[in-house]
Amino acid sequence: MTRNMPLTATHWGVYRAKVQNGRVTGLQDFEQDTDPSQIGHGIVDALNAPSRITAPMVRESWLSGGPGTRTDRRGHEAFVQVSWDEVTRLVADELARVRDTHGSQAIYAGSYGWASAGRFHHAPSQLKRFLTCAGGFTRSLYTYSFAAAEAMIPHVLGSYREFMNTTTGWRSVAQDGELVVAFGGIPVKNGQIDSGGVGVHIQTDGMSAAREAGVRFVNISPLASDMPGTMDAEWLAARPNTDVAIMLGLAHTLYCESLHDPDFMDRYCTGFDRFLPYLIGETDRVPKDADWAAGISGLPAEQIRALARRMAKHRTMISVSWSLTRADHGEQPFWMGITLAAMLGQIGLPGGGVTFGYSASNSIGGDYRQMPGASVPQGQNPVNRYIPVARITDMLENPGKRFDFNGQRLRYPDIRLIWWAGGNPYHHHQDLNRLNRAWAKPDTVIVNDWCWTATARRADIVLPCSTHLERDDLMMSLRDPYVVAMKQATLPPGEAMNDHQIFRRIAARMGFEADFTSGMSEAEWLRWLYDKTRQTPAAQDLDLPDWQTLQDQGWFRTAPPKDATVMMQPFRDDPDTHALATPSGRIEVFCKTVADFGYADCPGHPTWIEPREWLGNVTTWPLHLMSNQPSKKLHSQLDQGAISRGGKIDGREPVLLNPTDAAARGIGAGDLVRLFNDRGACLGVAQVSDTIRPGVVQMSTGAWWDPDETGMCRHGNPNVLTRDQGTSKLGQGPTAHSCLIEIEKFTGTPPPARPFEPPEIRQRVSDQSSA
Ligand SMILES: Nc1nc2c(c(=O)[nH]1)N[C@H]1C(S)=C(S)[C@@H](COP(=O)(O)OP(=O)(O)OC[C@H]3O[C@@H](n4cnc5c(=O)[nH]c(N)nc54)[C@H](O)[C@@H]3O)O[C@H]1N2
Ligand SMILES: Nc1nc2c(c(=O)[nH]1)N[C@H]1C(S)=C(S)[C@@H](COP(=O)(O)OP(=O)(O)OC[C@H]3O[C@@H](n4cnc5c(=O)[nH]c(N)nc54)[C@H](O)[C@@H]3O)O[C@H]1N2
Ligand SMILES: [Mo]
């Protein structure tokens, strides 16, 4: 029976669809998965909910007045339902107009976002291939996840992705590790997902095995829940954003008590001599000792000293959470984490060293061989303009302005058209009220999505697409051992169609359909992607079955590597043969390239730089907001579904605060509260617990933005409060985790939150609708 249920794959797991009368009535967890995620079930009632977009839509005054008409009305006016023929013509004409009058760099299609799993129907890839055929576009560089590290770590280790993807896994930690010190914890809530798809969830089992083998855990985080209770971890509830100071305090103790490994520093690193004067205070008369670190972090100095001694005595793994990069000066924590691990001399040893974010996603800590999955070729974009991904508002506000980025001086283009497919900037970006003002600048905004997100509502043209349940696809993710033949379980509702079909129609209208499709049908593309992967030299020992066998079996699992992966083991074994791709071939504790950029906000060695907003600099806003990843959804995806809604209280987001902070404000559990600062405000429902450090407030991301006339979000989207400022001139990454706010009990009549109601839609009586 099970075998006949269509398989589907998502970023949060593999499921089988129960189909009755052509409709999906439920999902069944993948029989291989011993720890399946509930997140995926949220799609069932969302598929045909009122929030589903079932036909092409055009904003009313754009349709009557053309591009640029009443752009301030985006999000405030009705849409008109049009036919595919009409919308195809409108989009093709507008794209050609912008390209021919302003140049293709005036089209912004960074289109950042997680879209859906599946190799072929990856919306941003489809969009970029399409726009490359049309003449090009301005793109974005790096991710919201860890942009600061993507820019910084190649200077230090020669590559970031290579080492993140070869993380020392739980197998090695269980075998040889003794202590895991986790900055930002090891949040298993985040291990539910992985970009491109998850076959089997491994985090809880992996960590438990390490714990059972005797490994001890330390959770350095403002939230106790960043570590599972079963780990019996020691919880060091430090002030947010002070991890670099704590690491410096640890490093200082190691150095002054001769607990560090000078041989490792000599053989595998460069520039310790340039860092040391800073560490011991010769350069600025401030020794970065444990007392100094205690003053900044709020942890007792003795605790820091004791931890340093413990780390030196044991095989220690330092895990540095990705979240630490999404804060002011987010370049520093990974750099300092690497430096601290180097001082311990355990990098490249089994169970020791440093990791970038255990359980930030399912694969970080996993035991797998990388899958060299082919992707839809995007061609050579004729426009060579880009922005660091999180600088979008800045770009829209300041066409022509010059800015610094990783040693370069770049200039913002003048954007006339924005096209988004597979992302939700009104979820992911900081300071949403500011974004919303800048969003009125372009003449035209086009959005492909399957549901009425805050971004889709603020488009001029909305192109309704399908979901993963409504198309065949292939799950083949770099860091997951499973390959899945995804099968269409139901038809898209109404006139919705998949992104590929949408672009294909417009390409046909513009005369480049054959370029866009390469003359292949969707089925031929899937087969091409799979066969190409199988033929890659790196796939030769993965034993991937042939296409037909995969289709018949539904899924395939590649065997784990014989030996546990240990990050940088080859480099440790032979640093000359396996020299790093840095100028020195070594770990750059001091980095001349970075020093020569001359950035005050990112000097040549790891440095504690005070964030602009943190608990050590409280003037007006006394509480530090942690807007971390949500446990019941991926970002904003499926917020409208039953699983995510089940985590809300009276239809609003919960907000966690410490009993001291709650009492000082007369707030009790279950109270409706208002979170605010000078950037914006939102409502939430208070939860009170001493599992959060005093002075810190936590509200997860993902609630669909539902602003009232003043911009206050009635639903609980924390990005109305966060600051939109780059990490530094080097990385220009997002800094959501550096944010101060105030909170108060909401008095008055609670305004209803209606984030999932569709906008007003007008049918045209005269419309000759065609399917
Ligand atoms: N305050 C704060 N903000 C943050 C963060 C934080 O920690 N704090 N984290 C940041 C991080 S790390 C990230 S990665 C971003 C995530 O930000 P995003 O990746 O933009 O968020 P998603 O909600 O995953 O957006 C994906 C969109 O794609 C749509 N979609 C799904 N499938 C398809 C499809 O097949 N076709 C099309 N066309 N669309 C589809 C979904 O409906 C959804 O609207 O958020 C960032 N924002
Ligand atoms: N369920 C679920 N899983 C997800 C996602 C999701 O949306 N939902 N998103 C995925 C994506 S795109 C990404 S990039 C990863 C992100 O993975 P992470 O970066 O790990 O995500 P966060 O949940 O923002 O942060 C983890 C914890 O870090 C702590 N933290 C924040 N700032 C600080 C700090 O300054 N110091 C210390 N010591 N701790 C701090 C917070 O308490 C938070 O709970 O998660 C992925 N996994
Ligand atoms: Mo992310």
Q: What is the mean pLDDT of residues 560-589?
A: 97
Q: What is the mean pLDDT of residues 411-428?
A: 98
> Tokens 């696809």 appear where?
473
DSSP class of 485: E
Structure tokens at 599: 């950035």
Looking at residue 4, its pLDDT comes to 81
Q: Does residue 116 line the site of ligand 1, with CB under 6 A?
A: yes
- Percentage above 90 pLDDT, the chain: 98
Q: Check if 15 is active-site.
A: no
Q: Does residue 193 line the site of ligand 2, with CB under 6 A?
A: yes
| Closest C-alpha to ligand 1, atom 27 | 423
**How big is the chain, counted in residues?**
771
Q: Using the predicted structure, report yes or no on whether residue 675 has a pLDDT greater than 50.
A: yes
How do residues 81-115 score in pLDDT, each as one tens digit? 999 999 999 999 999 999 999 999 999 999 999 99
- Which of the listed residues 112, 628, 738 should we mutate to test ligand 2's pocket, taking the one with most ligand atoms within 8 A of CB? 628
Q: Using the predicted structure, report yes or no on whether residue 771 has a pLDDT greater than 60.
A: no
Task: Please count the helices (runs of H) and the strands (runs of E) in the chain.
Answer: 25, 30
Q: Counting atoms of ligand 1 from 1, which one is nearest the CA of 114?
A: 19
Q: Does residue 421 line the site of ligand 1, with CB under 6 A?
A: yes
Buried b (16+ CB within 10 A) or exposed e, 167-187: bbbbbbbbbbbbbbbbbbbbb
Q: Does residue 174 line the site of ligand 1, with CB under 6 A?
A: no
Looking at residue 770, its pLDDT comes to 43
How do residues 231-284 score in pLDDT, each as one tens digit? 999 999 999 999 999 999 999 999 999 999 999 999 999 999 999 999 999 999
Looking at residue 765, its pLDDT comes to 65
Would you tell me how many other CB atoms lie within 10 Å of the CB of residue 542? Answer: 18
CA 448 to chain centre: 20
Residues with Cβ within 8 Å of residue 511, at least 6 apart in sequence? none
Q: Using the predicted structure, report yes or no on whether residue 414 has a pLDDT greater than 60.
A: yes
Query: Is there a contact between 126 and 421 (Cβ–Cβ < 8 Å)?
Result: yes
How do residues 495-524 score in pLDDT, each as one tens digit? 999 999 999 999 999 999 999 999 999 999
How do residues 471-492 score in pLDDT, each as one tens digit? 999 999 999 999 999 999 999 9
Q: Using the predicted structure, report yes or no on whether residue 405 has a pLDDT greater than 60.
A: yes
Q: Counting atoms of ligand 1 from 1, which one is nearest the CA of 425?
A: 20
Q: Using the predicted structure, report yes or no on whether residue 768 has a pLDDT greater than 60.
A: no
- C-alpha 754/C-alpha 756 separation (Å) is 6
Q: Which of 184, 144, 456, 426 is nearest to 319 (CA)?
A: 184
- C-alpha 209/C-alpha 227 separation (Å) is 15
- The single residue of 12, 62, 108, 114 carrying the catalytic annotation is 114
Q: What is the mean pLDDT of residues 128-145?
A: 98
- C-alpha 495/C-alpha 231 separation (Å) is 50
Query: Is there a contact between 126 and 499 (Cβ–Cβ < 8 Å)?
Result: yes
Is residue 587 classed as helix, strand or coil in its secondary structure? Answer: strand
Q: Counting atoms of ligand 1 from 1, which one is nearest the CA of 447?
A: 38
Looking at residue 321, its pLDDT comes to 98
Q: Which ligand is nearest to the CA of 10?
A: 1
CA of 637 from ligand 1 middle (Å) equals: 7
Looking at residue 769, its pLDDT comes to 46
- C-alpha 11/C-alpha 30 separation (Å) is 13
Q: How confident is the model at residue 766 (pLDDT cuts 50, 70, 90)?
A: low
Structure tokens at 355: 């990791």
Would you tell me how many other CB atoms lie within 10 Å of the CB of residue 102? Answer: 16
How do residues 353-398 score in pLDDT, each as one tens digit? 999 999 999 999 999 999 999 999 999 999 999 999 999 999 999 9
Looking at residue 764, its pLDDT comes to 81
Query: Is there a contact between 492 and 502 (Cβ–Cβ < 8 Å)?
Result: no
Looking at residue 3, its pLDDT comes to 66
Q: What angle do CA 685, 686, 690 make, to 5 degrees?
A: 155
Q: Using the predicted structure, report yes or no on whether residue 687 has a pLDDT greater than 60.
A: yes
Would you tell me how many other CB atoms lie within 10 Å of the CB of residue 436? Answer: 22
Q: Does residue 457 line the site of ligand 1, with CB under 6 A?
A: no
Domains and CATH numbers, the chain: 57-142+386-476+488-553 (3.40.50.740), 151-369+564-597 (3.40.228.10), 617-745 (2.40.40.20)
DSSP secondary structure string, 342-408?
Answer: HHHT-TTSTT-EEEE-TTSSTTTT----------------S---EEEGGGHHHHHH-TT-EEEETTE
How do residues 451-474 score in pLDDT, each as one tens digit? 999 999 999 999 999 999 999 999
Q: How confident is the model at residue 1 (pLDDT cuts 50, 70, 90)?
A: low
Q: Check if 114 is active-site.
A: yes
Strands 473-476 and 79-81: unpaired
Q: What is the mean pLDDT of residues 289-305?
A: 98
Q: What are phi and psi of 346, to 5 degrees?
A: -110, 5
Would you tell me how many other CB atoms lie within 10 Å of the CB of residue 262? Answer: 12
Q: Counting atoms of ligand 2 from 1, which one is nearest the CA of 37?
A: 1
Looking at residue 585, its pLDDT comes to 98
State the chain's mean pLDDT as an integer.
Answer: 97
| Closest C-alpha to ligand 1, atom 12 | 145
- C-alpha 208/C-alpha 242 separation (Å) is 28
Q: Using the predicted structure, report yes or no on whether residue 175 has a pLDDT greater than 80.
A: yes
Strands 179-183 and 216-220: parallel
